[in-house]
C-alpha cells in the first residue's frame, strides 16, 4: 500500500484481491494514528471492527474508506458540528448520504473537524482544535470543511464528505490542492445534514481526482423521499463518459470580472490563464464574458445565510438535546446561559446578524433586498449559459493564508467566499480542481461552473483537464 492512492486504483486492487478491505482500513487507520495529531483533520477515528461491521460486504465502493464532516449524521456516532453545545450528542440515525455509502460498501472511518456549525473559512472556529494545512502547517486548510480537505490532501483517506453553503467544500479543496465538488442544489439529499442555511446547503465531495469525485457522487446522488428539496433524479453513473474526451462544440466562458478582480494574486491569475490555454488545446472554444452581478453575491450571501442560520440554530436551546446549562432558576435563563456558554463567538455573531436582518423595520431593507439580488444572479447565470456550456472562475483570490491573518479584519475573512457563494445562491453545480502552485509552493485551484444538472459535463471537463496535467499528483511532503 502507498499513500495518495485514488478511489479508482483502490477499487481495482480490492477487486483483484491484491489487498483486502480489512488491510486497507488498517493501513489508513495507522496513517491517522501517525499524522492526525500533526494536522488535526479528524475529531474521532472509529475502531476498525465497528467500521467493518456497519458497512455492507459488497457494492461499488466496497472496502474503500472515507471521512465524514462532523455535521453529517452517522448512526450511533458523535455529531458535534465542532461545537461545545453538541459535545456529547450522539446521532440516532444515518444521513441519507451515509446510508447510501454504506450500502455501496464504503467504510466510514471517522468524523472530520470543521468550523463550528460550518461557520468559517479557515477551520479556526472549531471549539476543539484548529486543523492545519498539510502543505504548510502554519497556514489554514480553508473552511468550513477544513478537516475533510486536509485528511484527503495528507493521504489519510482517499475521499471525504463536506458541506458547502457558500464555498465550504471548494475553497478548502483549492487551499489543499485537491478536488472539491458541489452539486446542483437538490441533487444530493440534505437529510441528516445539520442545517446552517437550508436554501444554500449541499453535501459535497473531496477527492484527488474528478473521476473519484464522480464515483462518490454516483453512490449518493438522487431523489430521497426523506428530503422534499431533492430533485426527481434517479441513480446515475457519473463515471460513464469519463474517457478523457469532451463533446464537440463545447464553449467555456471565462468570467473576466472575476479572474481579474481587484486583489487577485498574480500567481493565481497566471495559473488559471495557463489552464485556459490547456482547454483550448483540448479543442474547447473560449469566450471572455462578464457577470456584473457577481460583485453583489457576497453581500447577498452574508444576509441570507445569517438569516437562515438564526432560524435553524434556534433549536439549540438546552431543552431537547445537547448541552444544558446548570445552576439556572428560570426557563429564559436556561436558554440564555446554554446558548452563551455553548456557542462560540463566530456562531453568536452570525445569529445576532441574522436576527437583525429579519427584524421588524430591517427585513425590507436587508433580507428582501438580498433575495432580489439572488434572483438577479440566477438570471445572469441562465443568460450566460445560453451562450456557453461551462464557466471558468477562480476558487480563491490568493493561496492559503497564515493562522490569525484576519483576526482583526472580519470583512476580509468573510470575503473568502467571494468567488464561490454565487453558485450557492443560484443553485448551480461547481467543481474546484488544482491548476498550479504558487511561488511559495502552495496549491492553486480554479472552478468550473455549469448550469443546473450539468454534473456529467462538469466531471468530463475536469477529468479531461486532469488527464493532460499532473497538478492533482502533487502532494505535500512529510506524509
Positions annotated as catalytic residues are: 69, 144, 168
Secondary structure class of 23 (helix, strand, coil): helix
145 CB-near residues (< 8 Å, 6+ apart): 69, 112, 114, 118, 123, 160, 162, 163, 164, 168, 169, 172, 204, 206
Positive or negative torsion for Cα 299, 304, 305, 307: positive
Can you read off the three cell numbers belonging to residue 77? 456516532
How many helices and strands, by DSSP H and E, does the chain display? 16, 11
Positive or negative torsion for Cα 292, 417, 466, 61: negative
CA 324/CA 282 separation, integer angstroms:
58
Picking from 325, 330, 351, the residue whose alpha carbon sits closest to that of residue 85 is: 325
CA 324/CA 306 separation, integer angstroms:
24
Can you read off the three cell numbers belonging to residue 405? 491573518
CB 204 within 8 A of CB 181: yes
CA 9/CA 41 separation, integer angstroms:
23
Can you read off the three cell numbers belonging to residue 26? 488498517
The β-bridge partners of 159 are: 207
> β-strand 251-255 against 390-394: which pairing, if any?
parallel
As a residue count, the chain comes to 479
For the chain, the first-to-last Cα distance in angstroms comes to: 14
Amino acid at each position: 500500500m502507498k499513500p495518495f492512492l485514488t478511489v479508482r486504483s483502490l477499487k481495482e486492487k480490492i477487486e483483484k484481491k491484491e489487498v483486502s478491505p480489512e488491510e486497507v482500513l488498517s493501513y489508513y487507520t495507522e496513517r491517522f494514528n501517525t499524522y492526525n495529531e500533526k494536522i488535526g483533520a479528524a475529531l474521532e477515528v472509529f475502531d476498525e471492527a465497528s467500521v467493518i461491521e456497519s458497512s455492507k460486504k459488497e457494492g461499488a465502493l466496497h472496502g474503500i474508506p472515507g471521512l465524514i464532516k462532523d455535521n453529517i449524521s452517522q448512526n450511533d456516532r458523535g455529531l458535534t458540528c465542532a461545537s461545545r453545545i453538541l459535545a456529547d450528542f450522539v446521532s440516532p440515525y444515518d444521513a441519507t448520504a451515509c446510508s447510501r455509502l454504506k450500502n455501496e460498501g464504503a467504510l466510514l472511518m471517522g468524523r472530520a473537524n470543521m468550523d463550528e456549525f460550518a461557520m468559517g473559512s479557515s477551520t479556526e472556529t472549531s471549539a476543539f482544535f484548529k486543523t492545519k494545512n498539510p502543505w504548510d502547517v502554519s497556514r489554514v486548510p480553508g473552511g468550513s470543511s477544513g478537516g475533510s480537505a486536509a485528511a484527503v490532501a495528507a493521504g489519510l483517506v482517499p475521499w471525504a464528505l463536506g458541506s458547502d453553503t457558500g464555498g465550504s467544500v471548494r475553497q478548502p479543496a483549492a487551499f489543499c490542492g485537491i478536488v472539491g465538488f458541489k452539486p446542483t442544489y437538490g441533487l444530493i439529499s440534505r437529510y441528516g445534514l445539520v442545517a446552517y442555511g437550508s436554501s444554500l446547503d449541499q453535501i459535497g465531495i473531496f477527492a484527488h481526482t474528478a473521476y473519484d469525485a464522480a464515483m462518490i457522487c454516483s453512490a449518493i446522488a438522487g431523489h430521497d423521499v426523506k428530503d422534499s428539496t431533492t430533485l426527481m433524479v434517479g441513480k446515475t453513473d457519473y463515471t460513464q463518459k469519463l474517457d478523457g474526451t469532451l463533446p464537440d462544440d463545447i464553449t467555456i466562458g471565462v468570467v473576466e470580472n472575476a479572474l481579474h478582480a481587484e486583489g487577485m494574486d498574480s500567481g493565481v491569475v497566471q495559473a488559471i490563464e495557463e489552464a485556459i490555454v490547456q482547454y483550448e488545446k483540448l479543442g474547447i472554444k473560449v469566450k471572455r464574458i462578464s457577470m456584473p452581478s457577481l460583485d453583489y453575491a457576497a453581500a447577498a450571501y452574508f444576509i441570507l445565510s445569517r438569516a437562515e442560520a438564526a432560524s435553524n440554530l434556534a433549536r439549540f436551546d438546552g431543552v431537547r438535546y445537547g448541552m444544558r446549562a446548570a445552576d439556572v432558576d428560570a426557563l429564559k435563563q436556561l436558554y440564555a446561559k446554554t446558548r452563551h456558554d455553548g456557542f462560540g463567538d463566530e456562531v453568536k455573531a452570525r445569529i445576532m446578524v441574522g436576527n437583525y436582518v429579519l427584524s421588524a423595520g430591517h427585513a425590507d431593507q436587508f433580507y428582501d433586498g438580498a433575495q432580489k439580488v439572488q434572483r438577479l444572479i440566477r438570471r445572469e447565470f441562465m443568460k450566460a449559459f445560453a451562450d456557453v456550456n461551462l464557466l471558468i472562475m477562480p476558487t480563491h483570490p490568493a493561496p492559503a493564508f497564515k493562522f490569525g491573518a484576519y483576526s482583526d479584519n472580519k470583512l476580509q475573512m468573510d470575503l473568502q467566499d467571494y468567488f464561490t457563494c454565487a453558485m450557492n445562491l443560484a443553485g448551480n453545480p461547481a467543481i474546484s480542481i488544482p491548476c498550479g502552485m504558487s511561488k511559495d509552493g502552495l496549491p492553486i485551484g480554479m472552478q468550473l461552473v455549469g448550469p443546473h444538472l450539468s454534473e456529467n459535463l462538469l466531471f468530463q471537463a475536469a477529468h479531461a483537464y486532469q488527464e493532460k496535467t499532473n497538478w492533482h499528483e502533487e502532494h505535500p511532503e512529510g506524509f
